[in-house]
Amino acid sequence: MIPMLRRILRTGIVSEPPPAPAGEREMAREMSRMSDEILRILGRALTIRAVDAGSCNGCELEIHALNNPCTNLEGYGIKFVASPRHADLLLVTGPVTKNMAHALKVAYDCTSDPKLVVAVGDCGCTGGVFGESYASCGAVENVIPVDVRVPGCPPTPQALLAGILAAVRR
């Protein structure tokens, strides 16, 4: 136990305001405004259900990074949940494979209002290198309605965070 506590103390708090081209302080102000807004609009934390509808798993690595102590997503009142029924927002990576199209539609139908959808990555936005084929439906919006698109291969955790906040702001 003591080595663990020593490690925790020595590490300190590593969470940081997300870097933004407009300047860090401005982004930090924006973040705190956003968490207030999330509370005002939704009445509590924003909950996200991540759905991998066919990605190469590169996007998932960066979605995982949202939960690391540096990005510290939960610090903004945003957290991932296990069921779409508990979720305000679907974070969907693609391309949507033909074999996942049905499951994605069911997950969308089960998602609670406001039922926001963020399409993640070049593949989620356009189909990317995989496009549309006998096995792929391509972009997420070909299967369910999409509110915000976050391109990138994969998008950085900061870009993902900005996309999630843009969806809430709508």
Partner 1 sequence: MRFFDEPIEFDKQPGIGSPVWRGHADNGEALQAFAVAVHRTDGRLAALWGSDERLRSGGFRLHCVFGIDAGHAWLSLDLPADRPTYPDLAGIFPAANRMQRATRDLVGIAHEGGDQRPWLRHGAWPEDWFPLRHDAGEGTGFTNAPSDYDFVQVGGEGAHEIPVGPIHAGIIEPGHFRFSVIGERLLRLEQRLGYQHKGVEKLFVGKNIADGARLAGRISGDSTCACAWAYAMAAEAACGVSPPPRALMLRALMLERERVANHLGDLGALGNDAALAFGFSQFMRLKEDWLRLNGKLFGHRFMMDRIVPGGVALDLEAPGLSSIVEQCDGIGREVKELKKIYDEHAGLQDRFATTGAIDAALARELSLSGLAARATGLILDGRAHRTGYTPPPPWAMLGVRPATDERGDVAARAAVRFAETFESLRLLREIAVGLPDGELRAELPPLAGAQGLGAVEGWRGEVVVGLQLDGEGRLARVHPHDPSWQAWPALEHAVMKDIVPDFPLINKSFNLSYSGHDS
The residue (of 37 and 60) whose beta carbon lies closer to partner 1 is 60
**Interface pattern 120-149 for partner 1 (x via CB under 8 A):** --------xxxxxxxxx-------------
CB of 52 to partner 1, least distance (A): 5
By CB under 8 A, is residue 170 in contact with partner 1?
no
Q: Could you give the CA distance from residue 81 to residue 65 in angstroms, rounded to a whole number?
A: 16
Q: Tokens at residue 160, please? A: 């993902």
Other CB atoms closer than 10 Å to residue 30's CB: what's the count? 16
Q: Are 76 and 38 in contact (CB under 8 A)?
A: yes
For residue 106, give the H/E element and its range: helix 98-110
Q: Under the rule (CB under 8 A), what is the footprint of partner 1?
A: 3-4, 7-8, 11, 14, 50-65, 67-71, 80, 82-83, 95, 97-103, 107, 128-136, 153-154, 156
